[in-house]
Amino acid sequence: MNLHAFTVTWMTDIKAKIYGVISLGCDKNRVDSEKLLALIRSNGCKISNDIEEVNVLVVNTCAFLGSARKEAVETVIDCARYRAEGKLEKIVVTGCLPQAFISEVFPALTEADVFLGINDYDDFFKALQASYDGGRVDMVGKGGCAFSSARVLTTPCHYAYLKIADGCNNCCTYCLIPKIRGRYKSYPVEDLVKEAAELGEISELILVAQDVTRYGEDIYGERKLVKLIKALSALSNIRSIRLLYCYPDAIDDGLIEELRDNPKLIKYIDIPLQHSEDRVLKLMNRKGSRAEYLALLEKLKRRVPGIAVRSTFICGFPTETEEESENLANFLRSAGLTNCGFFAYSREPRTGAYNLKGQIPTREKNKRVKRMYAVQSEISRGYLNSFIGKTLRVLCDGIDYERGCFYGRAYFQAPEIDGKVYFNCPDAVQGEYYDVQITSADSYDLFGRTAGYCEE
């Protein structure tokens, strides 16, 4: 009898594995992660927040800035040690980093087993099985992920983000997003309404996109943000709606009227202005001018009494002079914005500004950021001090055990990017609103108590 050697390949039961997800970067990335979690769960898989019991770890990455790419790589390397310390078998890297830099990261980031791009989640299990069967897998750009409304929320249960579009057509010279995410792509109104309806009881729905104001231009031939807001406002499970990332040139009278008249639409708007000086704005390929920005802000405040306006600015853009930096500080004093974020210009490859002459030293850029924060801090302090002695409606976000009180947000405070209201109350429930009497303030947060609270 002849004996023939043979091997048996056992198919790994990937649905029996325990999965975990780390989401890096922006709130738009968070929504993508939540949809991937829903896909994993819909296939009968278990999800865990404890990395020590996870078999398959997904790291959804950001690549907007060099610092974000560094964080992504370091996160993957740091997590790889759980192969020895825990039960980790596979690391899947998804999102913007592999989408834009796969030729660099695949050969270098050997700690990762599977790489997927921003539209490849439909191939998630196929890619993972291929990795178990035969080693490292690059499937970036191989999928054709269709819109999905299913989500596993990673925010506190009372608020959620709704990504209404992906990509961007603005092509600012400092920004990689069009290179990573492609051209602007709106999701149909009916799909977004379905997604929002399936979220459950939501105290605050936050609309996000790279530019929410251009919603609908690509699929309807005209802007349909107001139509979308009205449709979402009709949902009984949505108590309020907040807008982030509205570009100044696309804020029209219809949107302003909706902000004024819709009781569910929070009187808050985030407008990323990025600079105030015309020459710098032109170099950035930004639409608008200093005069137009100030006119828009005046119009918003006049037509929507009490509106809160937040913005972001880049400091140290190539060739920005000391005078232009000081003019930006003066613009802040004139604009009276509720809150601002300031960022040192990051020189990113494959962007229009990368080869501009007149790059500013890092130390000087950081100095200008610090100066702008100091200016805005005084403006914000004055704004917050105006609420002392008044009563604000505050959405309770939870308990701060170190401070021994509850915390939440007033209408002019978006989660994670603005300040908080810390308040004492006999009892408060996450996701409910409370009337809080404001007793003190600093340049970022408010402090107070409800009428029913008595100090012992």
Average pLDDT over residues 372-376: 97
pTM of the full structure:
0.93
pLDDT given for residue 149 in this prediction: 83
Q: What is the mean pLDDT of the chain?
A: 93
pLDDT given for residue 50 in this prediction: 92
Q: Do domains 14-138 and 159-385 have the same CATH topology?
A: no
pLDDT, tens digit (0-9, with 9 covering 90-100), for 175-219: 999 999 999 999 999 999 999 999 999 999 999 999 999 999 999
pLDDT, tens digit (0-9, with 9 covering 90-100), for 29-88: 999 999 999 999 999 999 999 999 999 999 999 999 999 999 999 999 999 999 888 799
pLDDT given for residue 148 in this prediction: 80
CA 124 to chain centre: 23
Cα separation, 64 vs 177, in Å, equals: 7
pLDDT, tens digit (0-9, with 9 covering 90-100), for 85-128: 879 999 999 999 999 999 999 999 999 999 999 999 999 999 99
Average pLDDT over residues 215-244: 97
pLDDT given for residue 3 in this prediction: 38
pLDDT given for residue 452 in this prediction: 75
pLDDT given for residue 7 in this prediction: 38
pLDDT, tens digit (0-9, with 9 covering 90-100), for 1-30: 343 443 334 467 888 999 999 999 999 999
* Of the candidates 389, 406, 408, 405, the residue with the CA atom closest to the CA atom of residue 397: 408
Identify the CATH assignment for 159-385 out of 3.40.50.280, 3.30.300.30, 3.40.50.720, 3.80.30.20. 3.80.30.20
Please say whether the structural domain 391-450 has been given the CATH code 2.40.50.140.
yes
pLDDT given for residue 370 in this prediction: 97
pLDDT, tens digit (0-9, with 9 covering 90-100), for 417-442: 999 999 999 989 999 999 999 999 99
pLDDT given for residue 456 in this prediction: 52
pLDDT given for residue 144 in this prediction: 75
Three-state helix/strand/coil letters over the chain? CCCCCCCCCCCCCHHHCEEEEEECCCHHHHHHHHHHHHHHHHCCCEECCCHHHCCEEEEEECCCCHHHHHHHHHHHHHHHCHHHHCCCCEEEEEEHHHHHHHHHHHHHCCCCCEECCCCCHHHHHHHHHHHHHHCCEECCCCCCCCCCCCCCCCCCCCEEEEECEECCCCCCCCCCHHHHHCCCEECCHHHHHHHHHCCCCECEEEEECCCHHHCCHHHHCCCCHHHHHHHHHCCCCECCEEECCCCHHHCCHHHHHHHHHCCCEEEEEECCCECCCHHHHHHCCCCCCHHHHHHHHHHHHHHCCCCEEEEEEEECCCCCCHHHHHHHHHHHHHHCCCEEEEEECCCCCCCCCCCCCCCCCHHHHHHHHHHHHHHHHHHHHHHHHCCCCCEEEEEEEEEECCCCEEEEECCCCCCCCCCCEEEECCCCCCCCEEEEEEEEECCCCEEEEECCCCCC
| Residue 178 φ then ψ, to 5° | -60, -35
pLDDT given for residue 143 in this prediction: 77
Cα separation, 383 vs 377, in Å, equals: 10
Average pLDDT over residues 162-172: 94
Beta-carbon contacts of 192 under 8 Å, excluding residues fewer than 6 positions away, are 162, 164, 228, 231, 232
pLDDT given for residue 11 in this prediction: 62
Query: Where residue 400 falls among pLDDT bands split at 50, 70, 90?
Result: very high
Average pLDDT over residues 408-421: 95
Class of domain 14-138: alpha beta
pLDDT, tens digit (0-9, with 9 covering 90-100), for 247-292: 999 999 999 999 999 999 999 999 999 999 999 999 999 999 999 9
Domain ranges in the chain are 14-138, 159-385, 391-450
